[in-house]
Structure 1
Amino acid sequence: MAPSAMDIDNSGKLDAARALQSKLESAKLNIVEDQNRFDTLQSTLAKDPGLVSEGVAGTTDPAIVAAEVASQISFLRNLKFQYLEQKAKDQYVKTIVSDEPPIINADDNELLRIENDKKKEILSAAKARLAEKYSDVRTLAPLVEQDYNKARALTQEAAALASKILDARLTLTRLRQAHPHPRLTIPAANAQLDDQIVEMQQLDDELQQVNTQVDTVKERVKVGAVEVERLRMERAELEKQVNAGQKEVQDGRVVGLYDWYTVALAMHRTLLDLETAHSESENELHLTYAVAPQGSTQRRHIFIKLLFLPNSRMLGEVQVEGLSEDVEDVVGAHLQANDVPGLIAAVLARARAGA
């Protein structure tokens, strides 16, 4: 008996289902490789438990790592306290025996305390964000694993349906062989064929639904993997910020340098009405001033672009924007003299005069 169009269509769908199953099985998903690697490492640890305590890469138990980190943090805190105590004693002794004690007043101590409190607040905020990211990773990891398990279950279900379709076709072939054409009436054969067509159509519909669910779950797994990777990157950045903040708090020289630089920068901005300063490159500097002309309270923005010769302190080109008058004569004179402070002072004087 020649195969009908419906048989050819069903055969094509069955081949497509098999191709999808083989493609999913051969796909190199990271979660599958991670599961195999984890099983291998667990087997290795079962044979040699000493690898955990030695800290072999990829074989450390997270619970043991957490306990060791907590112990190290406690030890470092005690060490820091002892260091600060010994340092305070040493400074106290030096202050007593010194002929000229350092001039330290209450205002200096108050400034140091305020700056230290600010840095502690920044460090606490960074630690809170890091803890939040850790919580997000712990929350998303079970969801990704759950989606992967669903995808694997749907794949197995698709394989089972394909096997049922194959069994149905084999049963139909056996029936045709057991009941040759002369012994099977045409109406009975048509009725049996209609029933089988309906059943195969139902199986095809179920297979289509399963395939759709498999595609949906795969997309969710991909999205979840991307989200987990993004959270890992954010966690690494936050860890860097936390480490940088801890180093700044522990280094006593940073506070004095920071106060000096802040006061100097604020004084410079106030005296020269400097609004922004931006280094575009190694030899290019952009300055923006907010100057109020005489007889007016409204400030105007003066933009000065300084371009220096590479690997030198020689002024090569100057651009001034925001003035109504031409200042090429002033720029040319100071450009030849390589006088940057004089150039800025002259331009600002022109701006304050109402140019």
Structure 2
Amino acid sequence: MAPLTPQGVLAKLRSLTASQEITILKLSEPISAAVTQLQDAHQRTSDVSTSSLDATTPSSLEGDLTHYRELFAKLRFSYVEQVSKEKFIRAIVGDPPLIVSSQENVDLEKENLEAKATLKALKTEVAEMVAELEEKAKDLSRRYEKVQVETIKLEELPGKIGELGNAVAKLQKNQAAGSNPNPELNLPLARTLDLVESKKKRKSELDRQLEQLQGQVPRKKKELDRLHAELHPLETKRQNSAAAAKEARRRKEAALGGVEDDLEERGRWFRAAEAGLKGVLEIRG
């Protein structure tokens, strides 16, 4: 069997949703038809008008159910009362009259108790069945709503798939043209995931080191301030020494009668001056 295309899957979903639409109005059509037939047959209307059937909602159905339960209870009471009266009158006016013994009353009472117990058990079973059906109906309703949401998402998938296909084609075209000089962007998925994981670990390590360095900033700043304070008098000494050396050089040149006289002696003097400055500034080398 050939695999379905996204368009084929979408068409099947639409056909299913169109042919299996479930709503409160659809479910209430058999009840509405039955009520209409009863009203036409007996030519009478109850407290619940047919206009309520035209706008059926869950709350209106609940109200109708309660109303019909009350009507059925009244009808059952009236029926039992009428049948009891009819039996009593027939027993009195019959020929010969019906005589009921006490033992028959006891037996009948026993049968009534058994029938009541059976009826109570049946009512309990029906109530449990109704509760189970209500829970299943709610679950089916939630699942139906979820299916509708998922169907909407599936209807949007073909467009997104087309966009992703265009993006993949563009990336492949760029890769074939060699416009991407970074070889890491051409890795397969597995190696790309490994690379991402290693980059995340490296980033975590750098964040940890940065946090440690940030904790050392106040101490380093205090140390830098102390070094600046120690460097200031040394800088002053260096400037004074440089000025003294310059002045001594000027005097030496003036005493020698020019810069061309006695170069060797001047070289020794300069080396001595340099050694003195290094000693003052504590410079090694």
Q: TM-score, normalised by structure 1?
A: 0.37
Larger relative contact order (CA 8 Å, sep ≥ 6): 2
Higher strand share: 1
Q: TM-score, normalised by structure 2?
A: 0.44
